[in-house]
Amino acid sequence: MSTNPAAPVQKFTPAPARSRFARFFRASRGDSPFKRLLIHLTLILACVIAVYPVLRVVSVSLRPGDRLLSTSLAIIPPDATLDNYLTVLLEKDFLLWVWNSLLVTVATALIGVALASTAAYAFSRWRFRGRTAGLIFLLSTQMIPAAMLMVPLFILAVRLNLVGTYRGLVLAYSVTSIPFSIWILKGYYDTIPIDLEEAALIDGANRLEAFWRIVLPLSTPALAIVFLFNFMTAWNDYLLARVFVANATSIWTWPLGLQLLQGQFTTAWGQFAAASIMVMMPVVALFLYSTRYLISGLTIGSVKG
Amino acid sequence: MEKLTLDVILASLSEVGSTVLFILVGVVVLEAVLYLLFGVVFKNKYTLPILLLAPAVVGLTLLIIYPLLWEFNLSLTNMSLRRFGDKAQYTWVACQSADPGTIQNWLTDCLLRNYADVFRLPVLKQVYFFPVFGRTILWTVINVVFHVAGGLGLAILLNRPMRGRGLYRTLLILPWAIPQVIAALAWRGEFHYEYGFLNIFLTRLGLTPISWMSDPTWNFIAMCIVNIWLGIPFMMVILLGGLQSISQEYYEAAEIDGAGAWQQFRSITLPLLQPVMTPAIILGTIWTFNNFNIPFFINQNELETSDILVTALFRAAFQYNRYGFSAAFAFVIFIILLVYAVVYIKTVRIEGIYE
């Protein structure tokens, strides 16, 4: 519901250039050294709480097999080794899991973006009957708990022989992010002046060409955000994979595999940690790089009703 | 043990490729039919938007609307693993074969039997609906309160020029960037009685270690700790964005009028943050209410006392295989969310009048 058009975000003045005063409580030059120290200490403490559990995963992944279970709190164990990484890469099915996830995720993200980008254009440029109802419907699908859809999807998939296949996963994932994607893209299209398309129409292009040649290229940032969002949703999903392919180990995605490794706590904790780090690295890097765009994308969608 | 070999890669590529091709062909056929129908036969002026919308509409109908309608139908039947095939019956049909003397209320014993069962029978083995519902509300309130308080606190601290601001921000966002499944599984390891870092800390401080996994109360607290850790960065980023859009002039004016820090916070920051905060809280509430991964994974011993509504729904469906019952259970949860959303929209409209 965050994207409710009723939220009057746009009524506020845009941020001014940063004044030399702090924006809060008092001017920072007026902050006593003691207060500044206190602020830094609080932030450092918060950072430690945020980062420490992640460092622990790094630490466990570097432990040699016979020292997995230790009560040491050192981040880099004295006898650090990359054995766990090698085991996961060479002896476990880790690469297969990642491959499966990657394949299904890329396919579904492409389908999702294709379907959402065209539908969003219709919502943005035409006032047809049922438009508002459609937008509200899209918004309300965001409230449906995932577990609720699993019951019918599972039984229907069993009847259509889609359980334990890539096909079932691709079909099911491809629509899950469409409602949200349509909202974001519609918001973005709304900010593109219609004059550009009208000029193209005068020059003899038809509406579809105007969309393809002008609107889509101008929307590259929004399309990237939506692709990323679709990708992340499918990449990080556990529930649907569990329901659809739990019994077909050759189609397992990485969340299922990691759950297996973590389940054998005493024997494979280090392997789980190593696998986690390898899955996490690219996702975290991508995420930290794109947060700024991600958030501006989210707010565009919410501001432009 | 399956290996990633060239054969596996080719086989998987061909299956996914053929699926994508199948969808593509379906879209082309659909577009052609619609074009002939609306563009050529009816000459409808909305032909292009219809063509643009059609694939998404068909996809959503087949994979969201139809399953939901079918699920409603399912909620009126007695389907379970035992009656998976064609043996499932509508509850009111099954009712007719029973002894008529035992039927006291046709509505709750026959037609809406599953819906009545949600409230009068245990939803899992032992727990009933209302305790789970109460726990879900408690879970949602605790998490959202901590998310907002923590996020707002950190946003305020970060909203000033200072050294290391970018670094702090990046480090603080980290929990949000980590895939939830990994975070949940890693934390689950850290709640281990002997080797998890929380208990190691407690032991070193001379306190008794906590049995996070087997004690119901502590397991619930463990769930909350993980989810609060995960959720604060989102609120922090959103609220920081909101704070930065508040003009400094308000504070300067307030300062001239002699307003103190607390007064400035109450009468400038909070009201001006409202438009950003309200949607974020609504979204956070729905996310937390529907959160599956954290309660499911942290509750390693499958304590029924740690289940919230959505995990209970999952277990009822996929561990106890009571499909008809779970469908009814799902609709009860959905109605709760719907009521919440309607109340929210009403409130926002009322606020809108005062703008």
Same domain, A205 and A183: yes
The letter for the amino acid at A118 is T
Q: Are B136 and B126 in contact (CB under 8 A)?
A: no
Same domain, A200 and A126: yes
A27 pLDDT band, cuts 50/70/90, is very low
In tens, the pLDDT along A241-293 reads 999 998 888 899 999 999 888 877 666 888 899 999 999 988 888 888 877 66
Determine contact: A264 vs chain B, CB below 8 A.
no
d(CA A294, CA A228): 9
Same domain, A61 and A149: no
List CB contacts (< 8 A) between A145 and chain B. Answer: 289-290, 292, 309-310, 313, 330, 333-334, 337
Residues 6+ apart with CB under 8 A from A24: B156, B159, B160, B243, B251, B269
Mutation site, A139, A151, A211, interface B, largest B CB count within 10 A: A151
Judge whether A211 lies within some domain: yes
Same domain, A40 and A96: no
List CB contacts (< 8 A) between A146 and chain B. Answer: 290, 292, 310
Judge whether A5 lies within some domain: no
Residues 6+ apart with CB under 8 A from A251: A100, A164, A165, A166, A169, A245
Residue A19: its pLDDT value, please? 43
Same domain, A163 and A37: no
Residue A304: its pLDDT value, please? 36
Judge whether A69 lies within some domain: yes
ipTM: 0.85
Same domain, A105 and A180: yes
The letter for the amino acid at B227 is N
Residues 6+ apart with CB under 8 A from B315: B124, B302, B307
Residue A21: its pLDDT value, please? 42
Residue A152: its pLDDT value, please? 92
Q: Looking up tokens 């009201």, which residue turns up?
A: B271
Judge whether A74 lies within some domain: yes
d(CA B321, CA B79): 9
pLDDT digits (tens), chain B, 355 positions: 567 788 888 888 999 999 999 999 999 999 999 999 988 888 888 888 999 999 999 999 999 999 999 999 999 988 888 777 667 778 777 777 766 666 677 777 788 889 999 998 898 888 999 999 999 999 999 999 999 999 999 999 998 888 888 889 889 999 988 999 999 999 998 998 888 889 999 999 989 999 998 899 999 999 999 999 999 999 998 898 888 888 888 888 888 888 888 888 888 888 888 888 888 888 889 999 999 999 999 998 888 888 999 999 999 999 999 899 999 999 999 999 988 888 877 776 555 444 3
In tens, the pLDDT along A150-193 reads 999 998 899 899 999 999 999 999 888 899 899 889 988 988 88
H-helix or E-strand spanning residue A216: helix A216-218
A/B interface, count of CB pairs below 8 Å: 343
> Cα A34 from chain centroid?
40
Same domain, A167 and A234: yes
Beta bridge partners of A248: none
Same domain, A140 and A239: yes
State mean pLDDT over A10-32: 47
Candidate from A71-85, A110-124, B61-75, B161-175 with smallest mean pLDDT: A71-85
Same domain, A255 and A155: yes
The letter for the amino acid at A12 is F
Chain B nearest-CA distance from A193, in A, is 18
Judge whether A201 lies within some domain: yes
Domain count for chain A: 2
In tens, the pLDDT along B160-213 reads 888 888 889 889 999 988 999 999 999 998 998 888 889 999 999 989 999 998
Judge whether A14 lies within some domain: no
Last residue of a domain, one of A46, A81, A116: A81
Q: Where are the alpha helices (DSSP H) in chain B?
A: 6-34, 47-60, 66-74, 91-96, 106, 113-120, 129-158, 165-177, 180-190, 197-204, 216-244, 248-256, 261-264, 270-289, 293-298, 309-318, 323-353
Q: What is the CATH number of the domain that holds A120?
A: 1.10.3720.10
Mutation site, B6, B10, B60, B136, interface A, largest A CB count within 10 A: B60
Which member of A12, A148, A288 has the closest CB to residue B313?
A: A148
Residue A26: its pLDDT value, please? 44
Structure token pair of residue A8: 């009057």
Among residues 13-32 of chain A, which lie with CB inside 8 Å of chain B? 13-16, 18-26, 28
Last residue of a domain, one of A81, A98, A120: A81
Which member of B67, B173, B183 has the closest CB to residue A156?
A: B67
Same domain, A140 and A40: no
Contact state of B177 with A284 under an 8 Å Cβ cutoff: yes
The letter for the amino acid at B326 is S
Domain range enclosing A162: 88-303
Same domain, A114 and A254: yes
Judge whether A2 lies within some domain: no
Contact state of B186 with A243 under an 8 Å Cβ cutoff: no
Residue A23: its pLDDT value, please? 47
d(CA A129, CA B97): 48
Same domain, A241 and A274: yes
Long-range contacts of B127-131, Cβ-Cβ distance < 8 Å, separation of 24 or more? B127/B304, B127/B305, B127/B307, B127/B312, B129/B332
pLDDT at A5 over 70: no
Q: Are B171 and A51 in contact (CB under 8 A)?
A: yes
Residues 6+ apart with CB under 8 A from B208: B202
Contact state of B334 with A107 under an 8 Å Cβ cutoff: no
Q: Which domains does chain B have, with CATH numbers?
A: 6-74 (no CATH), 76-111 (no CATH), 129-353 (1.10.3720.10)
Contact state of B333 with A259 under an 8 Å Cβ cutoff: no
Between A271 and A25, the more confident residue is: A271
Judge whether A37 lies within some domain: yes
Contact state of A1 with B251 under an 8 Å Cβ cutoff: no
Last residue of a domain, one of A65, A81, A97: A81
Determine contact: A93 vs chain B, CB below 8 A.
yes
